[in-house]
């Protein structure tokens, strides 16, 4: 393929700014390029790693073998469907700009997901969510290439098996390549105010635009937006997911917090019911109470000074240092609470 590049640095293409090069690299601006690249990789017996905006990716120091595909397809289409509007977005559309556009069009359903870096194609994989909203609520179709067969497929929400920060795409990362996502949004709909912190900070008469701006301001306070002037900006966002545990395991973790003197009473441990049988705990709270304060440093890497869930690269570091610090945190939380945190960003070429 004439448009392949070799030894392409990947660190500048990620928000962490870490890691080595791609053995082969292609920036695909058309879906036909993506499919041609998959065929080339299959014929050449090359592994394929998909890269989007690089905001949820960790690159190994040795780089990534095989072909790294940068999904950079662009385009939007709008169609009225009854009381809602179907918006078809190409996978390479910038997510933040896409949410901004939907709010400008007064289409409700994504306003709480403003300020999140990345691209549209990654959102169904991760089931991106924040401040009480998830993309699973508005996704109606996901068009993909099945990398096993080379066939295009159109998947309905029930096919995607969405769960908290999860989907069937994430459980089988090597199989699917997202081409387009259809969202069903509500013209003139009311903004979602389901999250206590957002509801507290929203204006008395909230609009889609004001809620979006409130979300961005809250994220900025936590250094969770990309800002070159922010010393915490080189991160992959939340490095760990909030653990969702069977109720009995959550109860044991809460008892461990009381025994360790972290809290005086079980009621002081933040938790949220998830259905009848499971409980969500706050990963950031667990990390801090396990002895890792905001701003903790391990050389060139550390915790954000604003948010205990974000691991930050301060410059001159390595992916090995970042992952070692992450494992230290996981071990500390496990030792104190009996809870094993799960990493959220992908380790490219490995996951």
CA dist., res. 14 & res. 195, Å (int): 29
CA dist., res. 9 & res. 20, Å (int): 6
Q: Which of 31, 167, 235, 238 is catalytic?
A: 238
Q: Which of 29, 74, 101, 165 is catalytic?
A: 165
- At 134, which helix (H) or strand (E)? strand 133-134
How many CB atoms sit inside 10 A of residue 108's CB?
A: 22
The span from the first CA to the last CA of the chain, in angstroms, equals 26
Angstrom CA distances, 200 to 57, 197, 206, 336, stand at: 32, 5, 11, 32
Question: 90 by DSSP, 3-state: which?
Answer: strand
The yes-or-no answer on residue 238 being catalytic is: yes
- At 209, which helix (H) or strand (E)? helix 208-221
The yes-or-no answer on residue 165 being catalytic is: yes
Q: Which of 35, 105, 249, 344 is catalytic?
A: 344
Residues 123 and 56 sit within 8 Å (Cβ to Cβ): no
Q: Which residues pair with 282 in a beta bridge?
A: none
Positions annotated as catalytic residues are 165, 238, 344
């Amino acid at each position: 393929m004439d448009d392949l590049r070799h030894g392409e640095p990947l660190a500048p293409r990620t928000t962490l700014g870490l890691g080595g090069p791609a053995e082969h690299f292609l920036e695909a601006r058309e879906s036909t390029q993506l499919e041609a690249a998959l065929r080339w990789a299959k014929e050449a017996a090359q592994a394929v790693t998909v890269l989007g905006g690089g905001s949820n990716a960790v690159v190994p120091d040795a780089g990534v073998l095989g072909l790294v595909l940068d999904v950079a397809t662009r385009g939007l289409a709008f169609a009225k469907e009854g009381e809602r509007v179907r918006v078809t977005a190409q996978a390479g559309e910038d997510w933040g700009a896409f949410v901004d556009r939907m709010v400008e069009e007064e289409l409700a359903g994504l306003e709480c997901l403003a300020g999140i870096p990345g691209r549209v194609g990654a959102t169904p994989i991760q089931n991106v969510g924040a401040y009480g909203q998830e993309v699973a609520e508005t996704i109606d179709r996901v068009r993909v290439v099945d990398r096993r067969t080379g066939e295009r497929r159109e998947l309905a929400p029930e096919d995607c098996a969405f769960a908290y920060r999860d989907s069937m795409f994430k459980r089988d990362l090597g199989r699917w390549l997202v081409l387009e996502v259809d969202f069903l949004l509500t013209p003139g709909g009311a903004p979602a105010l389901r999250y206590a912190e957002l509801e507290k900070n929203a204006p008395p008469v909230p609009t889609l635009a004001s809620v979006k701006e409130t979300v961005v301001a809250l994220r900025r306070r936590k250094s969770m937006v990309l800002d070159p002037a922010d010393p915490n900006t080189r991160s992959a966002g939340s490095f760990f997911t909030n653990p969702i545990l069977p109720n009995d395991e959550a109860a044991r973790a809460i008892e461990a917090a009381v025994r360790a003197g972290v809290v005086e009473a079980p009621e002081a441990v933040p938790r949220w019911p998830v259905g009848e049988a499971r409980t969500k705990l706050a990963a950031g709270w667990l990390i801090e109470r396990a002895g890792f304060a905001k701003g903790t440093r391990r050389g060139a890497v550390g915790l954000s000074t604003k948010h205990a869930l974000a691991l930050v690269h301060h410059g001159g570091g390595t992916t090995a240092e970042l992952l070692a610090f992450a494992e230290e945190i996981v071990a500390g939380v496990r030792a104190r609470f009996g809870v094993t945190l799960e990493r959220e960003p992908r380790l490219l070429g490995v996951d």
